[in-house]
C-alpha cells in the first residue's frame, strides 16, 4: 500500500514525510484492517512530524482522524464486521488495568497507545484499529466526519472541563479545526461564544458558525483586562495566549488548555489574573465516553465541518499550511488512490 512515512523529525517545509510503498498491515486478534477513505490533519500531527513530541518509533505513519471501512477482521473480533464504516481516533488502545483506567480516566492511562504516534496512522491507504476503540460514525461525507474524530472530541472534552455555567459566555482562543466545531456545539447548546484569532479570515468563519462576538487579537497582546468570560479554551499552542485568555476570564472561571504541546507560559500576575478562584486545567486526550457523547451530539445538533481536501501525497503541504495559519476550518487528506 502507499503511505506517507516519517523517518526523521524535521520542519515541515523540508518535506519530512515521504511517499512510499509499504507492507499492508495484518490485523492481530482484536484488531481490524481499515481501508482509509480520508484522514484529517491535526495540529498534533505537526508536533509529531516536527519533533515537539519526541519520536517513539524509528519510523511512523502519522494521522489519527481516520474515516474508512473495515476490510479484514482479526480472529477474536466480535462486535465489528466487514464493510462497516468506522473512525479510528487518537486513543488507539489503553491498558485497562492501571489506576486511571479502572477509575474512569482512561485518557490518563500510563500505558496508552496513540494512532499515528505510537502505532501507524491514517496517512496511508490502510490502517489498523483496535476493537473497542474504533468508533461508529454518523452518516454523511467522510471528509466532513474526519475532523470530528480528534478536533471535535478533544474540543468537546475541553468544553466540559471549562465548566461554563448554563447559558454562560465562553471564549475560544485560536480558531482552527477544533475551535470551529466546539464553538458550533456551544452556540447550539445556548452558550454565548466569543472567538479570538489573529486571522480575520478565521473570524469570518466564526461569525458564519454563530459566534456572538469575534475579537481580532493584536501582537503584542493588549494589556487591559476585560473579565467577561465564564469559561475559556486555548487551542493555540502558544503560552502567551494563556495570559491573553486569563485577562478575559471572570472570577470563578476556568481556562482549559486543549494543546498537547505549548510554548512556555509567561509569568502569571497572580493578584490580577489568577486570584478570584480562577482555574487553569490542561486537556489530555479523551475517554471513549467523551468520543461517544460528542459523536452523538454532533449528529443531533447537525454540526458541520468546514474542510479543505487534498490528496494524500500532499500531506507535507497540508501540514505547512496548518502551521502557517493558512487552513480555515480543518484540512483533510483523501487517501483513496
Interface contacts to Zn ion, rule CB under 5 A: 42, 44, 94-95, 98, 101, 109, 150
Cβ closer to Zn ion: 228 or 323?
A: 323
Calculate Rg over the CA atoms of the chain. Answer: 19
Of the candidates 130, 114, 151, 313, the residue with the CA atom closest to the CA atom of residue 233: 151
Residue closer to Zn ion, measured from CB, 115 or 197: 115
C-alpha cell recorded at residue 172: 475560544
Minimum CB–partner distance for residue 45 and Zn ion (Å): 7
Q: Show the cell assigned to 232.
A: 475559556
Q: How crowded is the C-beta side of 318, counted as CA atoms within 13 Å?
A: 27
Q: Provide the minimum distance between the beta carbon of 90 and Zn ion in the complex, in angstroms, as a whole number.
A: 5
Considering the complex, what minimum distance in angstroms separates the CB of residue 131 from Zn ion? 17
Q: Which is nearer to Zn ion, 106 or 248 (CB)?
A: 106
**CA-wise closest residue to 91 among 78, 74, 81, 106:** 106
CB of 168 to Zn ion, least distance (A): 27
Q: How far is the CB of 146 from Zn ion (least distance, A)?
A: 11
End-to-end alpha carbon distance in the chain: 10
Minimum distance, C-beta of residue 222 to Zn ion, in the bound complex (Å): 30
Least gap, CB of 109 to Zn ion (angstroms): 3
Question: Please, are residues 247 and 222 in contact by the beta-carbon 8 Å criterion?
Answer: yes
**CB closer to Zn ion, 44 vs 184:** 44
d(CA 33, CA 83): 11
Nearer to Zn ion, 65 or 230 (CB): 65
> For residue 276, is it left (φ>0), alpha (ψ between -120 and 50) or beta?
left
For every residue of 93-126, DSSP letters joined together read E--S-STTGGGT-GGG-TT-EEBTTTB--SSBSE
Nearer to Zn ion, 12 or 73 (CB): 12
Distance CA 265, CA 320 (A): 24
Let me know: does 118 contact 48? Beta carbons within 8 Å: no
Beta carbon nearer to Zn ion, 243 or 260: 260
Amino acid at each position: 500500500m502507499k503511505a506517507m512515512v516519517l523517518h526523521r523529525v524535521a520542519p515541515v517545509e523540508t518535506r519530512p514525510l515521504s511517499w512510499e510503498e509499504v507492507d499492508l498491515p495484518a490485523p492481530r486478534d482484536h484488531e481490524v484492517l481499515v481501508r482509509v477513505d480520508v484522514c484529517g490533519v491535526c495540529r498534533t500531527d505537526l508536533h509529531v512530524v516536527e519533533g515537539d513530541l519526541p519520536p517513539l518509533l524509528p519510523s511512523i505513519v502519522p494521522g489519527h482522524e481516520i474515516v474508512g471501512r473495515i476490510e479484514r477482521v482479526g480472529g477474536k473480533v466480535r462486535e465489528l464486521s466487514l464493510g462497516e464504516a468506522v473512525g479510528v481516533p487518537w486513543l488507539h488502545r489503553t491498558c485497562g488495568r492501571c489506576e486511571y483506567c479502572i477509575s474512569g480516566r482512561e485518557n490518563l492511562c500510563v500505558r496508552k497507545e496513540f494512532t499515528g504516534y505510537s502505532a501507524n496512522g491514517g496517512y496511508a491507504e490502510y490502517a489498523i484499529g483496535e476493537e473497542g476503540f474504533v468508533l461508529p460514525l454518523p452518516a454523511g461525507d467522510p471528509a466532513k466526519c474526519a475532523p470530528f474524530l480528534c478536533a471535535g472530541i478533544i474540543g468537546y472534552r475541553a468544553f466540559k472541563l471549562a465548566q461554563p455555567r448554563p447559558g454562560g459566555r465562553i471564549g475560544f482562543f485560536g480558531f482552527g479545526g477544533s475551535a470551529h466545531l466546539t464553538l458550533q456545539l456551544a452556540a447550539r447548546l445556548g452558550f454565548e461564544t466569543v472567538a479570538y484569532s489573529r486571522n480575520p479570515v478565521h473570524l469570518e468563519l466564526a461569525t458564519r458558525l454563530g459566534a456572538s462576538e469575534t475579537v481580532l487579537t493584536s501582537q503584542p497582546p493588549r494589556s487591559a483586562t476585560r473579565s467577561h468570560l465564564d469559561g475559556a479554551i486555548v487551542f493555540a499552542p502558544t503560552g502567551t495566549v494563556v495570559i491573553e485568555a486569563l485577562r478575559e476570564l471572570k472570577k470563578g472561571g476556568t481556562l482549559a488548555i486543549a494543546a498537547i504541546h505549548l510554548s512556555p507560559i509567561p509569568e502569571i500576575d497572580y493578584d490580577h489574573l489568577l486570584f478570584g478562584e480562577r482555574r487553569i486545567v490542561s486537556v489530555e486526550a479523551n475517554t471513549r465516553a467523551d468520543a461517544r457523547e460528542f459523536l452523538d451530539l454532533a449528529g443531533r445538533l447537525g454540526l458541520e465541518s468546514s474542510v479543505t481536501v487534498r490528496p494524500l501525497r500532499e500531506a507535507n503541504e497540508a501540514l505547512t499550511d496548518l502551521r502557517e495559519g493558512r487552513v480555515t476550518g480543518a484540512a483533510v487528506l483523501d487517501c483513496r488512490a
